[in-house]
């Protein structure tokens, strides 16, 4: 194996091993021109260029870790003010200076979707303390009523001492709005004033901001249009819940800033994000021909694969390139944690369809304190964990399955900040290598528009049933009645849903073919 493909970044306490990735050092040399082009474009982005041309926006999550790099003094000051405000607020909550009507806050309910939830969830799992955090975090991250009931049941009587963060840039995101409404109802059912427990994290002047002001919520923290949701963990979106839980947010910011400094370097061999991006380019043929399997060998990093799914797939899954040509780019991401995966899907990874490459994430520090031995040879549980990781890597390599290995010393606030910044920049570099816009999400917006259309049809279905009680009708017939013939499939699913969730007011009548079943609003 080529020793020149093992890179140790001493100051970062990070190693990146590409010896199992299947390319030679010549590949790096032969792609210097592509790399320098991507690096120049990333430099322009950080200097305030309109890096998201489809939406006419700057992209500035890097400035969050170093406000001095912001393209204007106003932006730099706003970042510094936000960080100071987060620290002050968290301290005031911890000291009881800001409290609920019944006393100190004990729990935290974060209401968000996508990056507004995945980032805080990942950091919570990575940094939570065995002895307990300053506030115990819970999440509404979907518009699933049963899921919200489950979370509320976990909070239980602590609802009276629960602080709520409602996170939505526009204030109009349906999932977050629904979660807020459900939380408001839960507080009202306990005769609690929601406004005395709530903080809005949103854009200034948004619907959510205006609501928080009119109802006199506890506070407001800004979101800016130059920070996308999936890159907002070092903005108020991620820093506020982390600080409230008692995590060291300055260490998170410092770790991210240190990684940013390293990954700005023009020398490819000194730039771990550049190396990682070029390895993706090689392993996926520059067109997403292979999936990415993330295998962190640490329980605390269990949610890292889920976090990276959104960061990578939402950023890179694009139909068009920057010239408007159809290219169908993207890298599918999945993963769990080691050594759990060895009893789950490593069988397929080793012997099944060779349509992936793996990224092993190794953590050298086993635990705080010393470990007991678990066998007659004096091995510890941590020794076994490393053995399983190295064994799995070799087992995959024997079958021609390629992999990358990232090694960090420990999971800490500093190293978590580093990992976040490393993958944020890698995604940006890769997007420039393949010529796409990493910073918009037209597919997500299309899904939202489709959902809105379906809800409008649902409203028409409910109104028709209410106005025609006791009349039995099929989905196709009802589609004609409400002038929605092309949406008969939607209407069938809506009627099916109503028959289960309408407390008996809509019943279903069987037909020979279930798709022809009839539904009736009971009078």
Inside any domain, residue 61: no
Reply yes or no on whether the pLDDT at 110 is more than 90.
Answer: yes
The closest of 366, 137, 115, 165 to 246, measured between CA atoms, is 137
- 163: exposed, middle or buried (Cβ count in 10 Å: 0-12, 13-18, 19+): buried
At 509, which helix (H) or strand (E)? strand 506-509
Q: Which residue in 94, 306, 448, 493 is the catalytic one?
A: 448
Q: How far apart are CA 198 and CA 163, in angstroms?
A: 6
- Whether 259 maps to a domain, the answer reads no
- Considering 157, 343, 368, 398, which one is annotated as catalytic? 343
In the numeric block, which tokens belong to residue 421?
A: 């910044």
pLDDT band, very low/low/confident/very high, at 452 (cuts 50, 70, 90): confident
**Same domain, yes or no, for 358 and 295?**
yes
CA distances from 501 to 152, 504, 507 (A): 21, 8, 10
Domain count, the chain: 3
Question: Can you tell me the distance from the alpha carbon of 338 to that of 295, in angstroms, rounded to the nearest whole number?
Answer: 6
| Same structural domain, 110 and 83 | yes
The answer as to whether 60 is a domain residue is no
pLDDT at 460: 95
Percent of the residues in the chain that have a pLDDT greater than 70, as a whole number: 98
Reported confidence tier of residue 76, pLDDT bands at 50, 70, 90:
very high
What's the CA angle centered on 342, arms 337 and 344, to 5 degrees?
85
Q: Which domain holds residue 453?
A: 443-521
Q: Which of 233, 314, 362, 424 is catalytic?
A: 314
Cα separation, 434 vs 284, in Å, equals: 11
Let me know if residue 275 belongs to a domain. yes
pLDDT at 511: 94
**Sequence-ordered list of residues with C-beta below 8 angstroms from that of 369, at least 6 positions apart, any chain:** none
Residue 57 pLDDT grade (very low, low, confident, very high; cuts 50, 70, 90):
confident
Q: What distance, in Å, lies between the first and last C-alpha atoms of the chain?
A: 77
Distance CA 264, CA 273 (A): 9
- Going through 206-343 in order, the beta strands assigned E by DSSP cover 219-223, 291-296, 318-320, 326-329, 333-335
Nearest-Å Rg of the Cα atoms of the chain is 25
User: Does the structure show a pLDDT above 90 at 52?
Assistant: no
Enter the DSSP assignment of 195: G
**Structural contact between residues 408 and 415, judged by C-beta atoms closer than 8 angstroms:** yes
Given this model, what pLDDT does residue 423 score? 98
- Of the pLDDT bands very low, low, confident and very high (cuts 50, 70, 90), residue 321 is very high
DSSP reduced 3-state for 218:
coil
State the Cα–Cα distance between residues 369 and 50, nearest whole angstrom. Answer: 49
| Mean pLDDT lowest among 139-153, 312-326, 436-450 | 436-450
The residues near 432 (Cβ < 8 Å, ≥ 6 apart) are: 37, 38, 41, 42
Q: What is the domain-level CATH number for residue 448? A: 1.10.10
Cα dihedral 24, 27, 32, 34 sign? negative
Assign 307 a pLDDT band (cuts: 50, 70, 90).
very high
What is the per-residue pLDDT for 253?
98
Residue 252 lies inside a defined structural domain of this protein = no
Q: Which of 421, 440, 459 is the last residue of a domain?
A: 440
Same domain, 116 and 27: no
Q: Which of 105-119, 309-323, 447-461, 487-501 has the lowest mean pLDDT?
A: 447-461
Task: Summarize pLDDT for 183-200 with one digit per residue, the tens.
Answer: 999 999 999 999 999 999
Decide if 314 is catalytic: yes
Mean pLDDT of the chain: 94
Give the separation between CA 347 and CA 328, rounded to whole angstroms. Answer: 30
Is 448 a catalytic site residue? yes
Looking at 247, 276, 303, which one is the last position of a domain? 247
* CA-to-CA separations, 442 to 45, 54, 428, in angstroms, rounded: 20, 9, 17
**Are residues 111 and 225 both part of a single domain?**
yes
Domain contains 362: yes
**Whether residue 449 has pLDDT greater than 90:** no
399 and 270 both lie in a single domain: yes
Report CA torsion sign: 38, 71, 62, 210.
negative
Return the bridge partners of 109, or none. Answer: 138, 164
**Residues 139 and 238 grouped into a single domain:** yes
Cα separation, 122 vs 108, whole angstroms:
15
Token code pair at residue 509:
């009548």
- What are the pLDDT digits (tens) for 257-279? 999 999 999 999 999 999 999 99
Q: Give the DSSP per-residue string, 29-78.
A: HHTHHHHHHHHHHHHHHHTT---BTTTTB---GGGGG-GGGSSSHHHHHH
DSSP string, 428-471: HHHHHHHT--TT--HHHHHHHHHHHHHHHHHHHHHHHHHHSTT-
| 324 and 414 housed in the same domain | yes
CA distance 492 to 477: 10
What's the whole-number mean pLDDT along residues 318-337?
94
Q: What confidence score (pLDDT) does residue 334 get?
A: 93
Same domain, 107 and 226: yes
Domain-located, residue 64: no
Mean pLDDT calculated for residue range 341-348: 76
Whether residues 308 and 389 share a domain: the answer is yes
Determine how many CB atoms are found less than 10 A away from the CB of residue 395: 15
* The pLDDT value given to residue 287: 93
Scanning 245-402, the segments in alpha helix (DSSP H) are 249-262, 272-283, 304-316, 346-351, 381-398
Dump the DSSP string for 379-413.
Answer: --HHHHHHHHHHHHHHHHHHTT--EEEEEES---H
> Is residue 372 within 8 Å of 378, Cβ to Cβ?
no
Neighbours of 211 (CB within 10 A): 18
Q: Is 175 a catalytic residue?
A: no
Residues 342 and 423 in one domain: yes
Does residue 235 carry a pLDDT above 90?
Answer: yes
- 314: pLDDT strictly greater than 90: yes
For the chain, give the longest Cα–Cα distance: 78
Angle of CA points 514, 517, 521, to nearest 5°: 145
Q: Is residue 445's pLDDT more than 80?
A: no
pLDDT level of residue 51 (50, 70, 90 thresholds)? confident
Q: How confident is the model at residue 523 (pLDDT cuts 50, 70, 90)?
A: confident
CB 158 within 8 A of CB 166: no
pLDDT at 446 over 90: no
**Mean pLDDT, range 364-375, rounded to an integer:** 95
Residue 385, domain CATH: 3.40.50.10490
- What residues contact residue 518 under an 8 Å CB cut-off, 6+ apart? 472, 473, 474, 508, 509, 511
Q: Are residues 434 and 369 in the same domain?
A: yes
Average pLDDT, stretch 76-96?
98
**Among candidate residues 410, 440, 470, the one where a domain is terminated:** 440
Q: Reduced to 3 states, what is the DSSP secondary structure of residue 203?
A: strand
Q: Is residue 63 part of a domain?
A: no
Q: Are 132 and 160 part of one and the same domain? A: yes
């Amino acid at each position: 194996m080529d020793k020149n493909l093992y890179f140790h970044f001493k100051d970062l306490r990070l190693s990146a091993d590409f010896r199992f990735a299947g390319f030679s050092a010549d590949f790096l040399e032969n792609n210097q021109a592509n790399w320098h082009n991507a690096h120049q474009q990333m430099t322009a982005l950080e200097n305030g260029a309109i890096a998201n041309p489809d939406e006419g926006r700057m992209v500035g999550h890097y400035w969050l870790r170093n406000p001095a790099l912001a393209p204007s003094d106003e932006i730099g000051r706003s970042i510094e003010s936000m960080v100071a405000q987060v620290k002050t607020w968290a301290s005031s909550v911890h000291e009881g200076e800001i409290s609920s009507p019944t006393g100190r806050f004990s729990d935290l309910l974060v209401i968000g979707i996508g990056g507004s939830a995945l980032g805080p969830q990942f950091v919570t799992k990575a940094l939570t303390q065995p002895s307990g955090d300053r506030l115990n975090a819970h999440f509404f991250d979907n518009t699933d009523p049963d899921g919200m009931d489950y979370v509320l049941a976990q909070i239980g009587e602590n609802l009276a001492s629960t602080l709520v963060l409602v996170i939505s840039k526009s204030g109009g995101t349906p999932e977050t709005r629904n979660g807020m409404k459900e939380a408001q109802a839960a507080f009202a059912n306990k005769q609690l004033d929601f406004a005395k427990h709530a903080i809005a994290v949103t854009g200034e002047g948004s619907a959510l901001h205006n609501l928080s002001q009119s109802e006199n919520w506890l506070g407001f923290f800004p979101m800016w249009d130059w920070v996308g949701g999936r890159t907002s963990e070092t903005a108020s979106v991620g820093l506020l819940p982390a600080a409230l839980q008692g995590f060291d947010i300055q260490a998170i910011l410092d770790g991210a800033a240190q990684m940013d400094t390293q990954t700005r370097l023009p020398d490819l061999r000194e730039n771990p994000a550049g190396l990682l991006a070029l390895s993706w380019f090689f392993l996926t043929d520059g067109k997403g021909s292979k999936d990415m399997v993330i295998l962190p060998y640490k329980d605390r990093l269990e949610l890292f694969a889920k976090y990276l799914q959104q960061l990578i797939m939402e950023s890179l899954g694009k139909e068009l390139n920057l010239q408007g040509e159809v290219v169908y780019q993207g890298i599918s991401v999945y993963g769990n944690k080691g050594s759990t995966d060895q009893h789950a899907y490593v069988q397929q990874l080793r012997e099944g369809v060779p349509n992936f490459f793996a990224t092993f994430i190794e953590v050298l520090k086993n635990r705080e304190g010393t470990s007991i031995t678990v066998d007659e040879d004096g091995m510890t549980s941590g020794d076994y964990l490393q053995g399983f990781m190295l064994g799995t890597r070799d087992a995959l390599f024997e079958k021609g399955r390629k992999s990358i290995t990232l090694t960090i010393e420990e999971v800490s606030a500093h190293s978590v900040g580093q990992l976040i910044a490393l993958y944020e920049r890698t995604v940006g570099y890769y997007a420039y290598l393949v010529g796409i816009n990493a910073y918009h999400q037209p597919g997500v917006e299309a899904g939202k528009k489709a959902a809105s259309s379906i809800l409008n049809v649902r409203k028409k279905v409910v109104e028709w049933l209410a106005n025609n009680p006791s009349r039995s009708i099929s989905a196709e017939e009802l589609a004609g009645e409400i002038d929605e013939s092309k949406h008969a499939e939607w209407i069938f699913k809506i009627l099916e849903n109503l028959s289960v969730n309408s407390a008996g007011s809509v019943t279903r009548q069987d037909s020979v073919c279930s798709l022809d079943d009839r539904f009736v609003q009971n009078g």
